[in-house]
Amino acid sequence: MRKVYFDHNATTPIHPEVKEAILPFLSEKFGNPSSIHWAGREVRAFVEEAREKVAKMINADPSEIIFTSCGSEGDNMAIKGVLMGNLKKGRHMITTVVEHPAVYRTCKFLEKFDFEVTYVPVDSYGMIDPEDIRKAIRKDTVLISVMYANNETGNIFPIKEISKIAKEHGIIFHTDAVQVVGKVPLDVKDLDVDILTASGHKFNAPKGIGFQYIKKGVEVLPLISGGHQERELRAGTENMVGIVAIGKACEIAMETMEKKSKEIGELKERLEKGILERVPDTVINGHPEKRLYNTSNISFKYIEAEALLVMLDMQGIAVSTGSACSSGATEPSYVLQSMNLDPLCSRGALRFSLGLGNTIDDVEYCLEVLPPLVEKIRKMSPFYKK
Amino acid sequence: MGNKVCVAMSGGVDSSTTAGILKSQGFDVFGVFMKLWDAKGSDRGCCTLNDSNDALRVANKLNIPFYVLNFKEEFKEHVIDYFVSEYKRGRTPNPCIMCNRAIKFEFLLNKVKTFGADYIATGHYTRIENFEGKPFLFKAYDKKKDQSYFLFNLKKETLSEILFPLGRLSKDEVRKKAEEFELITARKRESQEICFIEKDYRDFLKEMGIKEKKGYIVDLKGKVLGTHRGFFNFTIGQRSGLNIAVGKPVYVIKIIPEENLVVVGDDANLYRTTFIIEDVNFFEVPNSEKDYETKIRYTHKGERAKIKKIENNKFLVEFVIPQRGITPGQACVFYDNERLIGGGWIKEVL
């Protein structure tokens, strides 16, 4: 069966050059970078080399990069680390209703410990208004955390503006940039963010590695304490395979980002247009322009998205619906719910996210397979009357 | 009709083997696991992560697509709420039958049809075979395992859309096949209890908000023998937990919820002949002249009884010889030899 992978916002395949780069660390280069002897020395340089590559991609100083295990760790570290590290100043933070669970549930967790969180709403496009953030600021606000781009809709948020507001009030600003890093050029100095979270497997590194940008001078406590690794901000023996991989992935991203975004963007446009043309009663969710070039969230009215996901999967096409629980059961998307979409739309919403390896043939195959499946499901739908 | 089958997989050996058998027979099989209930801090029960992962691993071994589907709301409404309200009415419910009817063979069946399934299959030990040109449920070959009782309530028209491949196999044969297919669930321990009950159903009812309310325990003449802390703690035929001393073994004979009474008596008082069933489901019109093999609970061996229609949806059942512990809320199921004719819910013992 033909296999097409349109779920790059969930995870991405490992780039062949990344795979090549990590092979020595799966065999002869096994040392612990903290060791004094040859085995340690041999690998230590690779950690710093990778850190430089990461820093270069986002225009940071290498000393501002901390390697983590994943985006969730980064989000946890940013939120818990900043709030716990600034107790003198206050116990309040601001975020949005459409954050990833790594942010959202961390906030919920902290609320149990008497921290206070304001959740800023979104409009029907799923966009936030920076003014809403400004209005939510209090004397005791310590942190503002807003994602750079939303994983479900692909919406890109006005991070620079929000960061400016935070600065005006002396508030630390964190952005979960997991869906952006490696896809879009990003300059932390220009954005003027304090903390930025990224995850390797979203841009062709393996799972189990991420990084955190922490601007010099920003007060944040470690989530994992122990050894002296990562400037004592993240204890634990370095994940050499992951670190080398994410360094390489950053290097590749820097070189190819422009070309790739153009190519993938064109494929996505073609897919999106094709679907809208060939399937009646379809709507694009999210902002008309301010969206990631690779993401298309489409509502197929009068159907349950789950059925279409399953039918596409049976034809080898991998897409996704909103969120899934631990066992993989689909749950209603809280992101689409917060946009107050017509339930007919939110129930039938599928996310197509393209990336490395996708071809025009993939798009054509999907455009050929999908319309008859939608028609088949609609015929069985009690909501659909034609 | 095509040959696409959805197998409802629970992560147990029976449904795993069901998928394996159908796949080996050339069906286009996919598996689903139903997420029904979040047990509080439990790692057993029917919908734990362990079980869904076992089902996934079986599906991968068999190389079939597999999906976890969310039926939590439906399960709450049609099974849990029913279960609780039956106890509130002083009855002893059978949630598995409700789950089969409402969840597996209605919501799930309808959903997987939208996935392109032509049939749904489960690991129940029962058979569907034609009798005089029409499909009927039949007892499984393995009489110890026969589960047709739990399926009396299926809609007649769905029978042509259901496959029960285990109906002709014994449990040992099923385990052997699971070994042959090299399924990790081949030696998995059997779960016999109600999937959402952790230990004692009484704790569950309290968790679901049923309040204990003191009442009297009386004998058949109405004489007060003691008190109880809520009639939902009792079921017909129960001996333990009464905490009354009358110098001889006594059993719960009847529960009168309107008066908050638990009536006790001798073992002999438990033997009754006639009762009323309601909310019936018949696959053919029962013959009032005929003696049907009649089961009044899953573990009942079945005895001869006659069925008479009283009014729509209500029938009088009369055993040839008295039976012990006829219990309101339980299902009464009729067989003509191996063939399941239908059944209903026990309303009242006369």
Is the per-residue pLDDT at B266 higher than 60? yes
Residue where a domain stops, chosen among A224, A253, A282? A253
- b/e sequence B143-153, b meaning 16+ C-beta within 10 Å: eebbbbbbbbb
Specify the pairing of strand B271-282 against strand A323-324: unpaired
Q: Which residues of A touch B55 (CB under 8 A)?
A: none
Q: What is the pLDDT of residues A303-331, one digit of tens each?
A: 999 999 999 999 999 999 866 655 667 77
**From the candidates A315, A327, A369, A380, which should be mutated to test the interface with B, based on the most B CB atoms within 10 A?**
A327
Instruction: Tell me the one-letter amino acid at A88.
Output: K
- Tokens, residue B205: 């009812």
pLDDT at B43: 45
Does the CB of A313 have a partner CB in chain B at under 8 Å?
yes
- Is residue A220 a part of any domain in this protein? yes
Phi and psi based region of residue B143 (left: phi greater than 0; alpha: psi -120 to 50; beta: remaining): alpha
- Residue A281: pLDDT band (50, 70, 90) is very high
Chain A residue at shortest CA distance from B36:
A329
For residue A345, the model assigns a pLDDT of 86
In a shared domain, residues A281 and A221: no
Question: Do B65 and A376 lie within an 8 Å CB cutoff?
Answer: no
What CA–CA distance (Å, rounded) separates B84 from B103? 17
Domain containing A161 equals 16-253
Structural element, H or E, at residue B171: helix B171-180
3 state SS of A358? coil
Contact B65 A314 (CB under 8 A): yes
Distance from CA of B210 to the nearest CA of A (A): 29
Residues A233 and A309 in one domain: no
Asked whether the beta carbons of residue B30 and residue A314 sit closer than 8 angstroms, the reply is yes
The residue from A227, A253, A279 where one domain ends is A253
Distance (Å, rounded) from C-alpha B13 to C-alpha B181? 11
Neighbour tally for B304: CB within 10 Å? 13
List chain B residues with CB under 8 Å of A314. Answer: 30, 65, 115-116
Planar angle of CA A75, A76, A81, nearest 5 degrees = 110
- B116–A311 CB contact, under 8 Å: yes
Across the interface, of A307, A328, A330, the residue whose CB is closest to B115 is A307
Determine the residue type at A378.
R
What is d(CA B59, CA B77) in angstroms, rounded to the nearest whole number? Answer: 29
- Which single residue is written with the structure tokens 């680390």? A81
State how far Cα A28 lies from the chain centre: 33
Separation between Cα atoms, residue A66 and residue B104, nearest integer Å = 50
Is 50 exceeded by the pLDDT of residue B246?
yes
| B35 chain-A contacts, CB cut-off 8 A | 325, 327, 329
Identify whether A321 is part of a domain.
Answer: yes
Per-residue pLDDT band at A216 (split at 50, 70, 90): very high
Active-site residue (options: A70, A107, A250, A325):
A325
Mean pLDDT, range B50-63, rounded to an integer: 94
Q: Give me the residue from B65, B70, B113 closest to A313, CB to CB.
A: B65
Distance, C-alpha B18 to centroid of its chain: 19
Shared domain check, A224 and A295: no
Instruction: Give the model's pLDDT for residue A130.
Output: 97
Q: In CATH, what is the architecture of B4-180? A: 3-Layer(aba) Sandwich (3.40)
Q: What distance in Å separates the CA atoms of residue A182 and residue A195, rounded to the nearest whole number?
A: 17
Angle at B30 between CA A1 and CA B95, to 5 degrees: 165
- What CATH class is the domain B211-265? mainly beta
CA distance B52 to chain A (A): 7
Q: Which residue, A226, A253, A280, sits at the end of a domain?
A: A253
In a domain, A98, yes or no: yes
- Per-residue exposure over A19-36, b if at least 16 CB sit within 10 Å of its own CB, e if not: bebbebbeeebebebeee
Shortest Cα distance, chain B CAs vs residue A315, angstroms: 11
Residue in chain A lying closest to B110 (CA): A380
Q: CA-nearest residue of chain B to A311? A: B115
Q: Report CA-CA distances (Å) from A191 to A52, A163, A182, B134, B291.
A: 20, 7, 16, 72, 84
- Do A287 and A319 fall within a single domain? yes
The token pair that represents A371 in the structure block: 């319309």
Minimal Cα–Cα distance from A380 to chain B, Å? 7
Q: Please report, for the domain that includes residue A184, its CATH number.
A: 3.40.640.10
> Looking at the domain assignment, is residue A264 inside a domain?
yes
Whether residue A372 lies within 8 A of chain B, CB to CB, comes out as no
* A311 in any annotated domain: yes
Contact B78, B115 (CB under 8 A): no
* One domain, residues A156 and A32: yes
- A329:B111 CB<8 A: no
Same domain, A249 and A271: no
Q: From the candidates A1, A300, A306, A310, which should be mutated to test the interface with B, based on the most B CB atoms within 10 A?
A: A310
Q: Concatenated DSSP letters for A154-185?
A: -BBP-HHHHHHHHHHTT-EEEEE-TTTTTTS-
Residues A134 and A73 occupy one common structural domain:
yes
B-chain residue closest to A381, CA distance? B114
For B292-307, the pLDDT digits (tens) are 999 999 999 999 999 9
pLDDT per residue over B106-162, tens digit each? 999 999 999 999 999 999 999 999 999 999 999 999 999 999 999 999 999 999 999
Cα–Cα nearest to A18, from A211, A161, A202: A202
Confidence check: pLDDT of B41 > 60: no
* A326 contact B CB<8A: yes
Instruction: Please give the positions of B annotated as active site.
Output: 99, 195
> Which one, of B248, B238, B236, B245, lies nearest residue B346 by Cα?
B236
Domains B4-180 and B211-265 in one fold: no
Angle at B141 between CA B138 and CA B142, to 5 degrees: 120
Whether residue A115 is predicted with pLDDT greater than 50 in this model: the reply is yes
Mean pLDDT of chain B: 93
Task: Identify the pLDDT of residue A385.
Answer: 64
Same domain, yes or no: A267 and A327: yes
> Residue A265: inside a domain, yes or no?
yes
> Could you give the CA distance from residue A67 to residue A269 in angstroms, rounded to a whole number?
35
pLDDT top residue among A344 and B276 = B276
Cβ-Cβ contacts under 8 Å, B113 against chain A: 380
Per CB-CB distance under 8 Å, the chain B contacts of A378 are none
Q: What is the chain A residue with the closest CA to B48?
A: A327
Phi, psi of B216 (to 5 degrees): -100, 150
| B80-98 pLDDT, tens digit each | 999 999 999 999 999 999 9
Spatial CB neighbours of A74, under 8 Å, sequence gap ≥ 6: A68, A102, A176, A178, A197, A198, A199, A210, A211, A212
Predicted confidence (pLDDT) at residue B184 exceeds the cutoff of 50: yes
Nearest CB neighbour to A329, from listed B65, B70, B116: B70
Residues A196 and A47 in one domain: yes
Q: Is A265 helix (H, G, I), strand (E, B) or coil?
A: helix
Q: Which of B112, B115, B118, B161 should one mutate to test binding to chain A, selecting the residue with the greatest count of A CBs within 10 A? A: B115
Whether chain A has a CB inside 8 Å of the CB on B2: the answer is: no
CA distances (Å), A345 to each of A100, A318, A349, in order? 21, 20, 6
Task: Identify whether A386 is part of a domain.
Answer: no
Separation CA A56–CA A61 (nearest Å):
8
| Interacting residues of A262 by C-beta distance below 8 A, sequence separation 6+ | none
CATH number, domain B271-349: 2.40.30.10
A to B CB pairs, distance under 8 Å: 46
Contact A117, A92 (CB under 8 A): yes
Nearest Cα residue in chain B from A314 = B65
Sequence ranges of the domains in chain B: 4-180, 211-265, 271-349
| % of chain A surpassing 70 pLDDT | 97
Tell me the per-residue pLDDT of A126-143, one tens digit each, with 9 for 90 and over. Answer: 999 999 999 999 999 999
Across the range B18-37, mean pLDDT stands at 96
What phi and psi, each to the nearest 5 degrees, are found at residue A181? -60, 130
Amino acid (one-letter) located at B79:
V
Residue A385 inside a domain? The answer is: no
Record: contact B49-A326, CB cut-off 8 A? yes
A11-68 pLDDT, tens digit each: 999 999 999 999 999 999 999 999 999 999 999 999 999 999 999 999 999 999 999 9
Alpha-carbon distance of B255 to B213, in angstroms, equals 14
CATH number at residue A287: 3.90.1150.10
A299 and A239 housed in the same domain: no
Domain count, chain A: 2
Asked whether the predicted pLDDT for residue B44 surpasses 50, the reply is no
Distance from CA of A282 to the nearest CA of B (A): 19
Q: What is the pLDDT of residues A358-385, one digit of tens each?
A: 999 999 999 999 999 999 999 987 777 6
Q: Which of A310, A311, A331 sits opposite B70 (nearest CB)?
A: A331
Give the whole-angstrom CA distance, residue A207 versus residue A12: 9
Q: What chain A residue is nearest to B35 in terms of C-alpha separation?
A: A329
